[in-house]
Chain A
Amino acid sequence: MSALQAELAHLLSHEARLLDESRFAEWIDLYTPDCLYWMPAWREDGTLTQDPDTELSMIFYRGRRNLEDRVKRLNSGHSVASNAMTRVTHMVTNVILDEDDNATARTRAAFLVNVYDARTSLTHNFFGSYRHAFRRDGEAWKISEKIIHLQNEVIPTMLDIYSI
């Protein structure tokens, strides 16, 4: 494993940890202001939608500002779906470094998120793959893209950004 691969794998683990611990302000700080955050939907033919401008996504945001809105809602106290804070644990593994130069890099990884819903006492799993893109920001890397391919597409009631 190259040093860069290890560094980016560590960053993915760090992102997962921040979500697990509901440290959303720090989580948002990992992203560039113009970041892409995208989870495509599934077409009926069993393929993922590819063009977010002509096809539906589960979540599609361009701009960190949108993630800030999501977090605002989570913390607002005005969303019954967000009141009983769900407990989550992310596993992120199989990290592959796809491309890199001095300024940018791309990785693929597998994820499994175990979700315990305190409201219903039910446990759910969400799993699939991540495609991250990174941009160098001084000494650190920032996430410029996160694309989430969720394999188990039928959502049990709801799914929010901390469960993927």
Chain B
Amino acid sequence: MMRNPHGLRRRSILTGASAAAVLAAAAACGEDGPAGTADDPIEINFEWWGDETRAELTQQAVDLFQEKNAGIKVQTNFADFPTYWEGMTGRMASRDLPDVFQMDYSRLRQFGTSGLLLPLEGVVKTDDFRAGFLDTATLDGQLLAVPVAGNTLGLIYRADWFEGNGIAAPAPGYSWDQYAADISTLTPALGEGKWGGGDWAGVYHFMELWLRQQGGSFYTEDGKALNFEAAQLAEWWTSTAELYAAGMVPPVETTIEWVEGGLVQDKLGSEIGWDNFMPGYAPTVEANGGALALAAPPSLDPANLGLYLKPSMQFVISGATEQAEASAKLIDFLLGDAEAIKILGTSRGVPATNAGLAGVEIDPATQAVLDYEESVAQYLTTPPPAPPAATGAIEVKFGEIYQQVQYGEMTAPEAAELFFTEAETLLAAEQ
């Protein structure tokens, strides 16, 4: 029926191909050469996760950087934590990462093992970091990230509510049972719509803390398997069951709709969390007429709090960057420039460099974090090795499966069983 379909097809493909060639050529003309002058600047991308406040401060610092380095233009972008990582994961697959971006310790291996990150030895300045900080920036002996700031877990609590209801201020060695008892005292005293504390069992990091308090760890040393039993997980997931059933902690139906933390909403009396979050919450809580304080998290063994100093975030450079020099310059500037340090303050936590620590203006809340870190310094132990690449996914799964327990769709042992199946599949997928 069709007389010469092939001829037609070939010709149309040729037409298409030539059109594509023209487009490609046009695109090539638009590309910037590696010049880097004020008229023809180098362009680099810089992305991070965080809130509006952090974004404003960071943009100010970046503007200053551009002012001082006329040949470099920095495109910035930011998102909240889950959105940021969803985006980065997709872009990692298409090898389309920004030149400079913010890294989380739990994802370092995922990005670092596949040549996606530029080794930073000799590329960025490393001589001014506070002791111990660089340990968590290396992966298999190679420096792949620089720490921006450090943090450790703590119990952030409403000092006014605790005191007002006759609850003693938590001190190192405070037990999990005591914490549960205090929540049970506080919640009824606070009245409708407020709780003494949140359900902590759904957070991966707190389970890790709990395991470390028993001398264990979440993953085996080589990072290829889980280092605990399903029964332990079931035990952990039942540890808040009584509080939950009695309504002493907010129900999942409520928390699922929260877009910000319970402390800043004036609804929670305490929360286990990263100590550097405290200065972020403090102004809002004060505006609500409250006062925050920081104590060591509950533990099983007063001699072993399970704590370690973790980089709260890191900066990395994409292995595919064409502008390694300019990227390194930006990182050095953000971490080392006196003016930049002043602008950025403690929005990313207490700075990891000596210059940063000396130069940053410290408000009372930040001072409280420094005091807290000093008070638990004797309890800090060696950080675990950079967790396996699947950690990000495992962390998500941990919360997702615990939600089934909260909703009563599964019992804790069933959920633990399912978590093991899922986590083991994820760990196996990367071997």
Q: Do A and B bind each other?
A: no
